[in-house]
């Protein structure tokens, strides 16, 4: 792999940038692999990377029906935090957050991780109690968070209006080491590292069927032919139910569109991430100056990747009261991502009823922040055949046993 550095940039500048190599190879599929990962988004590529780095498994193919990182990985609002209430959630998200801190060095690829801090506004008395409870739980979990006053909120984010008539700011749950990263760069960095280890990244290759024999997976049917494998990992977010049906089992998930938009670029005015769960809106400012705004999920099942005017009006109307400065901004673009929701709004990282077939899904609206931790845990499960400590609580059997990890009830939102 060609190593990126300031010296490499200077050298290529001297020769008109003619010596750069392709970031990852584009190969035709071979007849079989030790492991096939379906889904070349952040979670699928991270799984492949940690299979190679942590477990020495490099005879791996990552199959993608579209283009690399073209699903939810490229359609989210890039928030990274780990201040969850439930112990299993806090553990896997904190693992991911800690990996994000060194991921650029590990991958030799700048993912633009920005630990600018994340605050979750308390705008009702109920939220004050809930976030104070979370702060105490985080203290026991070893996750650094604190509940801060309205005055401290104003210091950290001067453009915020803390005395709003409908949505006053009564405090906030503050995680100083949370932040954002460049979503595309995360996928590209993992892809580059996987390719360097000899793994095949196969794009424009849709899985049309799952092959099995005597209750064990043997391969997949694709638009580029049949490909055999010893183990199969399904990591396809909103289309998990479709792949599960091909493999002969059902999942307790539903797919809906999650809305987001960005404004026209403006001068720097906000260097933290603010989440307002009462109004279900969250906002940060990108390096290009755009205000990145996230809203709610659609109230009905669908696979659209378009936004809707309903969510623009609902989200922006409320955010304007909290951030009056944005009232005259023009919207630059809007989109939706297909998220897979479980009943308890926590993920599934689990073996499946089909032998040697494993699934990673159900991240709902919180998938991007979990990418490194999710890949670490899923790779461990595929390599060993059983879930490790990070994934153990997120098995499929919890829905049958009534052992839910209910973050949506505990935190009010699962973003």
* Chain segment 182-215, per-residue pLDDT in tens: 999 999 999 999 999 999 999 999 999 999 999 9
pLDDT above 80 (res 349): yes
Do the Cβ atoms of 153 and 83 come closer than 8 Å?
Answer: no
Which range has the worst mean pLDDT, 27-41, 186-200, 266-280?
266-280
Taking the C-alpha atoms of residue 236 and residue 68, their distance in angstroms, rounded to an integer, is: 12
- What is the pTM (predicted TM-score) of this model? 0.95
Helices 87-107, 371-384: axis angle to 10 degrees equals 100
399 Cβ partners below 8 Å, 6+ apart?
A: 252, 342, 343
Tokens of 298: 């659609």
Nearest alpha-carbon partner for 339 in 400, 269, 255, 282: 255
Q: Supply the DSSP symbol for 239.
A: G
**E-state strands within 266-365:** 273-276, 281-285, 291-297, 331-342, 348-351, 357-361
pLDDT (average), residues 249-265? 93
Going by the DSSP 8-state scheme, the letter that residue 167 receives in this structure is S
Spatial separation of the C-alpha atoms in residues 42 and 71, rounded to whole Å: 9
Residue 237 clears pLDDT 80, i.e. is over it: yes
CB proximity list for 281: less than 8 A, separation 6 or greater: 293, 294, 295, 315, 316, 318, 319, 322
Average pLDDT, the chain: 93
Query: What are 96's two structure tokens?
Result: 């991911």
Q: Which helix (H) or strand (E) holds 139?
A: helix 125-141
Minimal CA–CA distance to 123: which of 259, 275, 260?
275
Helix (H, G, I), strand (E, B) or coil at 68: coil
CA 164/CA 322 separation, integer angstroms? 7
Asked if 290 and 263 count as a contact pair (C-beta separation under 8 A), the reply is yes
User: What does the pLDDT look like over 357-410, one tens digit per residue?
Assistant: 999 999 998 899 999 999 999 999 999 999 999 999 999 999 999 999 988 654
Positive or negative torsion for Cα 332, 333, 339, 341: positive
Report CA Rg, the chain: 21
Strands in 346-410 per DSSP E: 348-351, 357-361
User: Is pLDDT at 412 greater than 60 in this prediction?
Assistant: no
b or e along 31-52 (b: 16 or more beta carbons within 10 Å of the residue's beta carbon)? eebebbbbbbbbbbbbbbbbbb
159, pLDDT greater than 70: yes
The pLDDT-based confidence of 302 (bands split at 50, 70, 90) is confident
What spatial distance separates the first Cα and last Cα of the chain, rounded to whole Å? 35
Structural domains of the chain, ranges and CATH numbers in brackets: 25-78+183-252+344-411 (3.50.50.60), 112-178+255-342 (3.30.9.10)
Q: What angle do CA 77, 81, 83 make, to 5 degrees?
A: 140
Rounded-to-10 torsion of CA 272, 275, 281, 285: 10
Percent of the chain with pLDDT over 90: 80
């Amino acid at each position: 792999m060609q190593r990126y550095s300031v010296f490499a940039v200077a050298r290529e500048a001297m020769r008109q940038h003619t010596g750069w190599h392709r970031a990852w190879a584009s190969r035709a599929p071979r007849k079989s692999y030790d492991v096939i990962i379906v889904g070349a988004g952040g979670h699928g590529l991270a799984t492949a990377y940690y299979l190679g780095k942590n477990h020495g498994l490099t005879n791996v193919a990552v199959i993608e029906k579209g283009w690399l990182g073209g699903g939810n990985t490229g359609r989210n609002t890039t928030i990274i935090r780990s201040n969850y209430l439930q112990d299993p959630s806090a553990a896997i998200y904190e693992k991911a957050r800690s990996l994000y801190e060194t991921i650029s060095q590990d991958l030799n690829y700048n993912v633009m991780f920005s630990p600018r801090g994340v605050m979750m506004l308390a705008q009702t008395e109920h939220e004050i109690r809930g976030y104070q409870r979370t702060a105490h739980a985080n203290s026991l979990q070893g996750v650094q968070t604190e509940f801060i006053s309205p005055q401290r909120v104003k210091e950290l984010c001067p453009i915020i209006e803390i005395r709003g008539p409908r949505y006053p700011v009564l405090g906030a749950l503050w995680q100083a080491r949370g932040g954002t990263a460049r979503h595309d760069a995360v996928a590209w960095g993992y892809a580059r590292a996987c390719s360097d280890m000899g793994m095949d990244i196969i794009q424009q290759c849709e899985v049309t069927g799952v092959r099995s024999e005597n209750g064990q997976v043997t391969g997949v049917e694709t638009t580029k032919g049949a490909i055999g494998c010893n183990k199969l990992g399904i990591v396809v977010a909103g289309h998990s139910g479709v792949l599960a049906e091909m493999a002969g089992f059902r999942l307790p998930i539903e797919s809906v569109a999650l809305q987001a938009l960005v404004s026209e670029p403006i001068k720097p005015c906000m260097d933290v991430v603010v989440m307002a769960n009462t109004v279900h809106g969250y906002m940060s400012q990108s390096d290009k100056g755009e205000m990145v705004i996230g809203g709610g999920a659609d109230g009905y099942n669908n696979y659209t990747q378009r936004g809707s005017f309903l969510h623009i009006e609902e989200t922006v109307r409320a955010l304007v009261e909290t951030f009056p400065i944005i009232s005259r901004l023009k919207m630059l673009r809007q989109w939706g991502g297909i998220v897979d929701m479980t009943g308890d709004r926590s993920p599934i990282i689990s073996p499946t009823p089909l032998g040697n077939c494993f699934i990673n899904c159900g991240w709902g609206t919180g998938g991007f922040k979990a990418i490194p931790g999710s890949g670490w845990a899923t790779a461990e499960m595929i390599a060993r055949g059983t879930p490790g400590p990070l994934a153990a609580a997120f098995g499929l059997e919890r829905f049958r046993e009534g052992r839910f990890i209910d973050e949506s009830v505990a935190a009010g939102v699962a973003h």
